[in-house]
């Protein structure tokens, strides 16, 4: 694992972030390296990506103290640190993983029950089929045929592919954080959101959180940590695994509400920031695209995250699927045959911290300049950034940080919950609420 340097890939990534956000790079001493490399060993520069992403959020928040690289590693592997009543949750469904096809590999995702049902339907399996049944159904098929059958039923699967350097270079020629200012007649009231309290720089900022899984919730958890009033809204018909919300729900309230109700529109009308994490096509259908939101509510700051980017609005995806299709999995293979994985869901976590960095910075710009703002990134765009960073021929064995040093304990609905601690120096998480346990109001 390469030691970071003052002019290494982490510093270069930070320079890119500041350029995308229109920030003078002289505002912070952003070339200071960590005291040792972030222990996320891999062929790709996963530790450098993690360090730069967390450091960006710190600097944008006015936190000059360096993060602890061990704590960064634990936070990026937060699912391994999480316990509920002393037990570690089973975070992966047997329907999520690599499956061999006749001519290669595919990667599936079936953690949500509806995705597992669709996976079974695409493979003509009974709803109760187990992972061995899935494996046997895929093996005779070509990888392309297996993916086509699953996705035709709206299941989630991708072919495991080799990297495409030309495509990644094209993606890297676009902003990592794509910022757009949209000026429409404003009814006022949003531009002055926030306080000048250094201990809680986002106090007074109302954030409507329309995200789930990891990346979006990491973003909004970071905003809550900095003092924002974050209200997460989920559709009543789509349950969230308890462990997943406890892992990233710190400091937020959580409510269930249909997005087509008058109450939802009232929440939007008084929000300062909206964070979107659903498929662009789904958002369009509900009238929740960035353009539609700003048309109805000028002066909003809209932060949008997706798996594949707005260029592929109908595709759903997760970190593991993006790793597989982008070529990361074959780079990280251990034996040259079976695909491998990054040591953490680093695309998710980095996208979350980078999007939070953008929100913090653009709130500051909005106070100065007015206007409505949109910032977008995607897991695929973050993957392209990682694939363009220096890599090693093989990862060195990584040291394992002591979990007890980098975790926090909470009481949530009578249960003891232990999670990874905050990576922002000097700030501590408050307890997550139970999913869906709050009223939909500010």
pLDDT tens-digit map of 124-175: 999 889 999 999 999 999 999 999 999 999 999 999 999 999 999 999 999 9
Whether residue 290 lies inside any domain: the answer is yes
Q: Do both 147 and 86 map to the same domain?
A: no
Q: How far apart are CA 91 and CA 69, in angstroms?
A: 24
Q: Which domain holds residue 126?
A: 97-164+320-331
Q: How confident is the model at residue 8 (pLDDT cuts 50, 70, 90)?
A: confident
Q: How confident is the model at residue 190 (pLDDT cuts 50, 70, 90)?
A: low
pLDDT exceeds 80 at position 401: yes
pLDDT value at position 397? 65
Q: Do both 233 and 290 map to the same domain?
A: yes
Whether residue 337 lies inside any domain: the answer is no
- In the chain, the number of structural domains is 2
pLDDT exceeds 50 at position 5: no
CA 148 distance to own-chain centroid: 26
pLDDT value at position 400? 85
Alpha-carbon dihedral sign for residues 345, 346, 349, 352: negative
Q: Do both 325 and 361 map to the same domain?
A: no
What is the pLDDT averaged over residues 293-312?
96
pLDDT value at position 188? 55
Q: Do both 76 and 129 map to the same domain?
A: no
Task: Calculate what percentage of the chain has a pLDDT beyond 90.
Answer: 86
Q: Do both 113 and 80 map to the same domain?
A: no
Q: Are 268 and 206 in contact (CB under 8 A)?
A: no
Beta bridge partners of 105: 100
Q: Do both 191 and 232 map to the same domain?
A: yes
Q: Which residues contact 75 (CB under 8 A, 6 or more apart)?
A: 54, 349, 406, 420, 421, 422, 423
Q: How far apart are CA 217 and CA 249, in angstroms?
A: 7
- Tell me which of 402 and 28 has the higher pLDDT: 402
Q: Do both 275 and 358 map to the same domain?
A: yes
Instruction: Say if strands 415-420 and 83-84 run parallel, antiparallel, or are unpaired.
Output: antiparallel
Among residues 309, 331, 353, which one ends one of the domains? 331
What is the pLDDT averaged over residues 170-194?
80
Per mean pLDDT, which range of 6-10, 40-44, 96-100, 395-399 is the poorest? 395-399
Q: Do both 26 and 80 map to the same domain?
A: yes
Whether residue 295 lies inside any domain: the answer is yes
């Amino acid at each position: 694992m390469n030691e970071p340097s003052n002019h290494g890939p982490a510093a270069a990534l930070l320079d890119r972030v500041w350029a995308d956000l229109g920030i003078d790079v002289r505002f912070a001493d952003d070339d200071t390296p960590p005291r040792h490399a972030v222990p996320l060993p891999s062929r790709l520069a996963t530790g450098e990506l993690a360090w730069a992403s967390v450091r960006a959020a710190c600097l944008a928040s006015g936190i000059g103290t360096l993060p602890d690289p061990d704590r960064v590693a634990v936070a990026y592997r937060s699912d391994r640190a999480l316990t509920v009543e002393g037990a570690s949750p089973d975070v992966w469904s047997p329907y999520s993983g690599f499956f061999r096809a006749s001519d290669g590999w595919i990667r599936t995702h079936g953690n949500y029950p509806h995705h597992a049902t669709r996976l079974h339907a695409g493979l003509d399996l009974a709803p109760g089929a187990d992972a061995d049944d899935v494996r046997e159904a895929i093996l005779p098929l070509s990888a392309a045929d297996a993916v086509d059958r699953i996705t035709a039923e709206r299941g989630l699967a991708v072919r495991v592919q080799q990297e495409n350097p030309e495509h990644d270079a094209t993606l890297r020629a676009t902003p990592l954080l794509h910022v757009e200012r949209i000026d429409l007649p404003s009814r006022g009231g949003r531009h002055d959101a926030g306080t000048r309290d250094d201990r809680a720089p986002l106090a007074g900022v109302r954030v409507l959180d329309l995200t789930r899984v990891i990346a979006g919730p990491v973003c909004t958890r970071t905003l809550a940590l900095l003092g924002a009033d974050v209200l997460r809204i989920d559709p009543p018909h789509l349950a969230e695994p308890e462990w997943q919300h406890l892992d990233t729900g710190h400091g937020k309230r959580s409510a269930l509400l249909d997005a087509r109700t008058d109450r939802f529109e009232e929440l939007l009308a008084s929000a300062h920031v909206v964070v979107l994490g659903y498929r662009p096509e789904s958002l369009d259908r509900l009238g929740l695209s960035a353009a539609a939101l700003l048309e109805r509510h000028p002066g909003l700051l809209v932060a949008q995250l997706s798996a594949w980017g707005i260029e592929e609005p109908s595709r759903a995806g997760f970190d593991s699927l993006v790793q597989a299709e982008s070529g990361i999995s074959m780079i990280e293979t251990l034996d040259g045959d079976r695909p491998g994985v990054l040591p953490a869901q680093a695309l998710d976590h980095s996208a979350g911290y980078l999007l939070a960095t953008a929100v913090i910075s653009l709130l500051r710009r909005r106070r100065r300049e007015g206007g409505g703002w949109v910032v977008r990134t995607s897991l695929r765009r973050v993957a392209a950034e990682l694939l363009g960073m220096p890599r090693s021929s093989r990862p060195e064995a990584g040291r394992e940080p002591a979990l007890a040093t980098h975790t926090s304990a909470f009481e949530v609905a009578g249960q003891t919950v232990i999670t990874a601690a905050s990576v922002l120096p000097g700030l501590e998480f408050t307890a997550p609420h139970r999913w869906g346990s709050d009223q939909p109001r500010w």
